Amino acid sequence: MRTLYHGSRVTVEQPEIRIQKFHKDFYWGFYCTEYETQATRWATRFGSGIVNVYQFEEQPGLSVKRFPEMSDEWLDFIVACRSGIPHDYDIVEGPMADDTIFNYVQSYTDGEISRAAFWELARFKHPTHQISFHTARALATLTFERSYEVHV
């Protein structure tokens, strides 16, 4: 069992996958992190918010993709997902592009910088963590534990 956190404006006892206007790093899904401080940042982007705490128990038979670190494969996967290309994984886990790295990824995607330039820029940045749940079977591995309010 692992503890995961999700920052939001509301308590989320029943996680769900929401289709949004823009694709995220690992496509549409329900996103969590191992880092409580990161979830707090997500929750307080627009003022006060809620950190939701879950227990995660991975189940056999799920299709899981893990990126242990930023890599060419990770970059290509994010570019594809942000371009609207879906994948077949139940769960995807790996580094999260912070705002600075996000901008570098966007510049690379837009053809404004080369892959080599991306890695040169990203080399000294320290990504954070994300794990995304993309199917109902994946969401069933999460058990809501509690939530609490956080303030800016």
Task: Report domain extents, the chain.
Answer: 2-150
Q: Report yes or no: 56 and 141 within 8 Å, Cβ to Cβ.
A: yes
pLDDT-wise least confident of 58-72, 112-126, 128-142: 112-126
d(CA 48, CA 111): 37
pLDDT score at 43:
93
CA dihedral 35, 103, 69, 15 (to 10 degrees): 40
pLDDT band at 18; cut points 50, 70, 90: confident
d(CA 82, CA 125): 20
- Of residues 90 and 79, the one with the higher pLDDT is 90
Structure tokens at 145: 């534990």
* pLDDT tens string 32-86: 999 999 899 989 988 999 999 999 999 999 999 999 998 999 999 998 998 889 9
Asked whether residue 19 carries a pLDDT value surpassing 90, the answer given is: no
Question: Which of 58, 4, 56 lies closest to 33, judged by CA?
Answer: 4
pLDDT-wise least confident of 18-22, 49-53, 61-65, 106-110: 18-22
d(CA 105, CA 111): 10
The per-residue pLDDT of the chain, averaged, comes to 90
Asked whether residue 100 carries a pLDDT value surpassing 80, the answer given is: no
pLDDT band at 10; cut points 50, 70, 90: very high
pLDDT score at 122:
83
pTM here is 0.89
Question: Which of 5, 20, 9 lies closest to 142, judged by CA?
Answer: 5
pLDDT score at 132:
95
